[in-house]
Amino acid sequence: MDTMSGATASAAVVGAPGSANAQGQVIEEVQGPPKLAPGSAAKLNLTVDLVLLSSVLVGSAWLSGQLSAESGWKVSGLVLAAWVVWIVTGTALCLYDSRFAERSKLDHVALVSVTTLAVVTVLTLGSVAVPTVVTSPVVGPLLFIFWPVTLLLRLFVFRPVASQERPMDAVLIVGTGAMGRYTGEDLANRGRRQILGYVRFHDDNGSVGELPGPVMGSVDDLEHILRNTAVDEVYIAGNTLKQGESMQAAIKLAERFGVPFALPAHSFRLDRARPVERRAVADGFLHFAAVSPKPHQMAMKRLFDICVSAAALWALLPLLGMVALAVKFTSKGPIFFKQLRVGQNGKPFYMLKFRSMVVNAEELKEKLAALNEQTGPVFKMKHDPRITGIGRFIRKFSIDELPQFINVLRGEMSIVGPRPPVPTEVAKYETWQRRRLSVRPGLTCIWQVSGRNQISFEEWMYLDMQYIDHWSLTSDLRLLLQTVPVVLTGRGAS
């Protein structure tokens, strides 16, 4: 089980409001009109599309005289089948990717058309295979009503709304020269990136006042900044001819931390010439990541997470209720334990668990530090005196972890992935170990099926790196199946 460390954020994860420049002056963020949360336009778009799809199918059945009390279940099945096809196909095509505001209009036309045709094809084949069940004439209404209305709403309503969302990613720009300044201005104008600040090269002579963000230090401070700041991507905006050595050092550092980075696509200024494949360098940079980019597989992984976590919470509701009552009536304190954990790219979130320890567990932990049985920064004891009677049982069979399905639904965690660490542990990580934060944390991973507390901390880290470097949907499914007997037997838990 995970250690119950303090719920107070350390400086290694959470920054204070405002930023300080090179002279120590605090730069307050300019408060503009309130913006939407990232991804809200995509979620609203999906909801409207499903409602419109249902309305077209039900309306078609009603107009054709097929909507009655006896045939209502057929129409309901038709709508459900259409929903499944639409969601699965849309997920595979990344139709509702939160970055869809950056796509071209032709991309939207193609994606919506392919997804609509998938629904039409499946329902048409269904009407041929089982005419007694699928009999509604849906091809015409889907092609001539649903498809154009969905496309028009997407292009002229949801796409503009998405452009008003808050920045999704926090980026750091290395270089305060002309390239760095232009990069910051371009990202600010696009509105999809939050500029945390700048890191200057030793020979940069640009004026700090001209930059759209504070200077956080020099390239010598880059490792310290990456260790203490949640960064989604590093833009290395230098001159390859003059600053190539420093840029190479920044690249190596980003690779070791597992932080995505971007390099200038062109070494020279271009006035009229344009790249043939413009989409590949839309912002003038080539983007690199420490993990293999698999956007379609990642989209399917997120769909799997949503479906499994929602189904699990619903199916396990009686068990969750009984455990909540047992925790409440067997020891003093709250039912749930909210603990600050470090998520993907160092972003903090509160992980939920059933409380399995006494209320003053954190105070007692300091007294028990000398009895730690795990190597590295993690604290674990086989016979931890802080664990309550019911807590020992629910920890043995990982029942205390079940509320984390809520974290999965929120998008803070995944079903399969490295366990999220606490800030105090991350602060003690070696540089190479920080790379485990490059992916979304999960409920189970290789560590859980390899002995858990019976293996050393360093072996644990290597197992997580193995998962990150060789991730696939198949490996996730295999780990999930291997987790079931481990949970049922309580092997390796404490």
pLDDT mean across residues, the chain: 82
**Residue 294 confidence (pLDDT) above 80:** yes
Do residue 393 and residue 256 come from a single domain?
Answer: no
CA 178 to chain centre: 33
Nearest-angstrom CA–CA distance, 207 and 197: 14
Structure tokens of 51? 């409602």
Instruction: Over range 157-163, report the average pLDDT.
Output: 88
Identify whether the C-beta of residue 366 lies closer than 8 Å to the C-beta of residue 443: no
Of 226, 255, 288, which residue constitutes the final position of a domain? Answer: 288
**414 DSSP β-pair partners:** 442
Structure tokens of 89? 């196909």
What is the pLDDT, as a whole number, of residue 484? Answer: 85
Predicted confidence band of residue 386 (pLDDT cuts 50, 70, 90): confident
Give domain status of residue 6, yes or no.
no
pLDDT tens profile 174-216: 999 888 998 999 888 877 789 999 999 988 875 556 888 999 9
Identify whether the C-beta of residue 61 lies closer than 8 Å to the C-beta of residue 67: yes
Nearest-angstrom CA–CA distance, 387 and 311: 30
Give domain status of residue 25, yes or no.
no
What is the pLDDT, as a whole number, of residue 20? Answer: 40
Do residue 373 and residue 480 come from a single domain?
Answer: yes
Instruction: Over range 93-117, report the average pLDDT.
Output: 86
- Name, in order, each residue with C-beta under 8 angstroms of 303's C-beta and a sequence gap of 6 or more: 87, 88, 91
Do residue 143 and residue 281 come from a single domain?
Answer: no
Do residue 346 and residue 478 come from a single domain?
Answer: yes
**264 DSSP β-pair partners:** 285
Predicted confidence band of residue 11 (pLDDT cuts 50, 70, 90): very low
Give the DSSP H or E segment for 341: strand 336-342
The residue with tokens 């420049």 is 21
What is the pLDDT, as a whole number, of residue 36? Answer: 78
Query: Which carries the bigger pLDDT value, residue 16 or residue 469?
Result: 469
Instruction: Over range 261-269, report the average pLDDT.
Output: 80
Do residue 345 and residue 471 come from a single domain?
Answer: yes
Predicted confidence band of residue 245 (pLDDT cuts 50, 70, 90): very high
By residue range, what is the domain housing residue 139? 40-164
Predicted confidence band of residue 426 (pLDDT cuts 50, 70, 90): very high
Nearest-angstrom CA–CA distance, 318 and 89: 33
Report, in angstroms and rounded to the nearest whole number, the Rg of the chain calculated over CA atoms. 26
Q: pLDDT > 70: what percent of the chain? A: 80
Nearest-angstrom CA–CA distance, 146 and 53: 7
Query: Which carries the bigger pLDDT value, residue 323 or residue 492?
Result: 323
Provide the greatest CA pair distance for the chain. 79
Which range is most confident: 256-265, 288-297, 359-368?
256-265
Structure tokens of 169? 């990613």
Residue 174 phi/psi, 5-degree rounding, is -95, 115
Nearest-angstrom CA–CA distance, 356 and 84: 39
Nearest-angstrom CA–CA distance, 250 and 245: 9
What is the pLDDT, as a whole number, of residue 419? Answer: 93
**Residue 12 confidence (pLDDT) above 60:** no
Predicted confidence band of residue 433 (pLDDT cuts 50, 70, 90): very high
**360, 344, 356, 353: which is closest to 434 by C-alpha?**
344
**Residue 342 confidence (pLDDT) above 60:** yes
Structure tokens of 494? 């404490």
Give domain status of residue 306, yes or no.
yes
Give domain status of residue 402, yes or no.
yes
**Residue 3 confidence (pLDDT) above 50:** no
Do residue 332 and residue 312 come from a single domain?
Answer: yes
**297, 296, 289, 305: which is closest to 435 by C-alpha?**
289
Instruction: Over range 65-90, report the average pLDDT.
Output: 80
Identify whether the C-beta of residue 426 lies closer than 8 Å to the C-beta of residue 257: no
Do residue 158 and residue 245 come from a single domain?
Answer: no
**77 DSSP β-pair partners:** none
User: Residue 178's domain is classified under what CATH number?
Assistant: 3.40.50.720
DSSP-based three-state secondary structure for 196: strand
Predicted confidence band of residue 492 (pLDDT cuts 50, 70, 90): low
**Residue 408 confidence (pLDDT) above 70:** yes
What is the pLDDT, as a whole number, of residue 76? Answer: 83
How many domains would you assign to the chain?
3
DSSP-based three-state secondary structure for 411: coil
Do residue 158 and residue 256 come from a single domain?
Answer: no
Give the DSSP H or E segment for 236: strand 233-236
Predicted confidence band of residue 296 (pLDDT cuts 50, 70, 90): confident
Give this prediction's pTM: 0.75
Do residue 427 and residue 324 come from a single domain?
Answer: yes
Give domain status of residue 428, yes or no.
yes
Of the chain, the end-to-end C-alpha distance in Å amounts to 6
Predicted confidence band of residue 7 (pLDDT cuts 50, 70, 90): very low
Predicted confidence band of residue 123 (pLDDT cuts 50, 70, 90): confident
Give domain status of residue 408, yes or no.
yes
Of 252, 269, 288, which residue constitutes the final position of a domain? Answer: 288
What is the pLDDT, as a whole number, of residue 14? Answer: 38
DSSP-based three-state secondary structure for 468: helix
Least confident of 79-88, 101-110, 151-160, 451-460: 451-460
Do residue 303 and residue 392 come from a single domain?
Answer: yes
Predicted confidence band of residue 27 (pLDDT cuts 50, 70, 90): very low
What is the pLDDT, as a whole number, of residue 468? Answer: 93
Query: Which carries the bigger pLDDT value, residue 33 or residue 60?
Result: 60
Amino acid letter for position 43: K
Predicted confidence band of residue 385 (pLDDT cuts 50, 70, 90): confident
Predicted confidence band of residue 475 (pLDDT cuts 50, 70, 90): very high
Of 100, 129, 164, which residue constitutes the final position of a domain? Answer: 164
Q: pLDDT > 90: what percent of the chain? A: 42
Give domain status of residue 223, yes or no.
yes
What is the pLDDT, as a whole number, of residue 485? Answer: 86
The residue with tokens 């696509």 is 265
What is the pLDDT, as a whole number, of residue 281? Answer: 76
Do residue 325 and residue 270 come from a single domain?
Answer: no
Give domain status of residue 20, yes or no.
no
**415, 405, 407, 481: which is closest to 449 by C-alpha?**
481
Do residue 446 and residue 299 come from a single domain?
Answer: yes
Instruction: Over range 450-459, report the average pLDDT.
Output: 76
